């Protein structure tokens, strides 16, 4: 009964159009005040201790690094390098968009930031080259999802904070699935371009490719700084985030010089706004998790599911369906912070690896970024391409189907996710 009251109240508040973070906080306060004897002081204490985690500091640093890189000329150099490698194949600019998104994902940690950085350059370029605008917008919106699967990933940090999992192991677990998904998206792009007769670029000579690589090396080196530093133990994921922010600032302002010093305060303010929004959601979600735990709701749901005979395969299928539906209406951070405290204990009792489970959830969040009506990537790509939301929904469907096939692969073949962290001795 308590579970019905809590989730019913949360649903009603969200239906009214109230922001998710406020809906979570108001649900907690209302329930605790009217239906329990928990003192209000405990809520204040939980608000403070909930975000007093070293790992959470990684989020604002990765956001800041992504903003420096987006506005600092790193993206356009990566795009030039990517298109020099694959531009001569059918749909060359579309293939270049996938490769560029994969490269930018490895330094930004954010899906919408990846779409902005790559899409603002390549979507107009594709239209100018004779591609349909739907094709360009669709491939960029879908490929931008790599921003939260290929490490570093803000969504993975959220999952790790919610479940006390290893951020480093999660980051490493996202590498191979990210590369596999990038290859699948490239195949879909190539197949559609070849069947529709879309144009291709001239084959770039090796000298031009070397020049493009040399120009983009400062941005690509950040991948080594972050992942190499974490694996070698030189610094923790949170320290890696801070290093990436400082490195991105130096590259954008002093190396490429595309970001002027006078524009740095604007970038800092934009990063602070985004960080504050996410931290406010985290704070209220931690409160919500505290309420669920206080009422023993995760334990009750876990016992009910185990008693009903739902096995590992059935549970994973049910989780995927639940997360895909929620992805239509909520953004990834809120979904993870609400569902992880409930689903994680059940997954552990069924013997599901926590790192594999985290990667599977991340892929679900990735798909949610391109499903209406709340898919953030759809809105970002729509703003760049000037297509309506309904047109964008049609534009992404070939890549959406590809991602659903990939989700099934990740869900039921755990070695795809956990082989690399196990090989590196991180699990």
Cβ-count burial of 246 within 10 angstroms (0-12 exposed, 13-18 middle, 19+ buried)?
A: middle
What sections of 251-353 are H helices per DSSP?
A: 264-294, 297-307, 312-327, 332-349
pLDDT tens, position by position, for the chain (427 residues)?
Answer: 677 888 888 888 888 878 777 888 888 888 888 877 777 777 778 777 777 777 788 888 988 988 888 777 788 888 899 999 998 899 999 999 999 999 988 888 788 888 988 988 899 999 999 899 999 999 999 999 898 899 888 889 889 988 888 888 999 999 999 999 999 999 999 999 999 888 888 888 999 999 999 988 998 888 888 888 888 888 888 888 899 999 999 999 998 888 898 999 999 998 898 888 888 878 887 788 778 777 877 777 777 777 777 788 989 998 999 899 888 877 788 888 888 888 898 899 889 999 999 999 999 999 998 988 778 888 889 988 888 888 999 999 999 999 999 999 999 999 999 999 999 887 6
On whether the CB atoms of residues 56 and 161 are closer than 8 A, the answer is yes
Closest CA to 327 of 340, 336, 318, 316: 336
pLDDT at 116: 87
DSSP state string for 367-413: HHTTSTTT-HHHHHHHHHH---HHHHHHHTHHHHHHHHHHHHHHHH-
pLDDT at 112: 85
pLDDT at 235: 85
pLDDT at 213: 93
- Looking at residue 134, what DSSP letter applies? H
**For residue 373, how many other CB atoms are within 10 A of its CB?**
10
Q: What angle do CA 63, 322, 112 make, to 5 degrees?
A: 20
pLDDT at 237: 84
Q: What angle do CA 303, 305, 309 make, to 5 degrees?
A: 110
pLDDT at 44: 78
- Measured CA to CA, the distance from residue 117 to residue 256 in angstroms comes to 16
Q: What is the CA 346 to chain-centroid distance, rounded?
A: 24
Q: What angle do CA 128, 131, 135 make, to 5 degrees?
A: 125
């Amino acid at each position: 009964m308590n579970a019905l009251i809590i989730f019913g109240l949360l649903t009603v508040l969200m239906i009214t159009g109230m922001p998710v973070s406020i809906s979570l906080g108001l649900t907690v306060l209302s329930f605790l005040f009217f239906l329990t004897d928990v003192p209000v002081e405990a809520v204040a204490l939980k608000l403070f201790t909930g975000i007093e985690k070293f790992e959470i500091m990684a989020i604002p640093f990765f956001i800041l690094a992504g903003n420096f890189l987006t506005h600092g000329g790193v993206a356009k150099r990566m795009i030039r390098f990517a298109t020099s490698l694959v531009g001569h194949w059918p749909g060359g600019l579309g293939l270049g968009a996938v490769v560029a998104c994969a490269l930018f994902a490895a330094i930004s940690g954010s899906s919408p930031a990846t779409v902005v950085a790559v899409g603002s350059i390549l979507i107009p370029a594709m239209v100018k080259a004779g591609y349909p605008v739907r094709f360009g917008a669709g491939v960029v919106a879908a490929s931008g999802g790599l921003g939260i699967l290929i490490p570093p990933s803000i969504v993975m940090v959220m999952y790790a904070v919610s479940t006390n999992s290893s951020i480093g192991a999660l980051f490493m677990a996202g590498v191979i699935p990210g590369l596999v998904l990038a290859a699948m998206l490239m195949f879909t792009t190539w197949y559609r371009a070849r069947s529709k007769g879309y144009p291709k670029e001239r084959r770039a000579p090796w000298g031009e490719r070397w020049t493009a690589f040399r120009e983009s090396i400062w941005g690509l080196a950040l991948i080594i700084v972050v992942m190499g530093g974490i694996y070698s133990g030189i610094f923790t994921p949170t320290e890696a985030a801070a290093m990436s922010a400082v490195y991105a600032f130096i590259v954008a302002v002093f190396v490429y010089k595309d970001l002027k010093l006078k524009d740095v305060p604007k970038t800092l303010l934009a990063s602070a706004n985004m960080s504050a929004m996410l931290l406010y959601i985290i704070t209220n979600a931690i409160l919500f998790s505290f309420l669920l735990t206080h009422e023993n709701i995760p334990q009750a749901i876990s016992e009910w599911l185990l008693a009903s005979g739902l096995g590992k395969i059935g549970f994973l299928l049910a989780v995927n369906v639940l997360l895909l539906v929620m992805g239509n209406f909520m953004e990834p951070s809120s979904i993870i912070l609400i569902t992880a405290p409930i689903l994680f204990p059940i997954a552990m009792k069924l013997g599901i690896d926590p790192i594999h489970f985290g990667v599977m959830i991340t892929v679900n969040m990735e798909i949610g970024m391109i499903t209406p009506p709340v898919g953030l990537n759809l809105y970002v790509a729509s703003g760049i391409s000037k297509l309506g939301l309904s047109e964008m929904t049609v534009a992404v469907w070939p890549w959406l189907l590809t991602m659903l096939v990939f989700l099934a692969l990740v869900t039921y073949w755990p070695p795809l996710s956990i082989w690399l962290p196990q090989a590196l001795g991180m699990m």
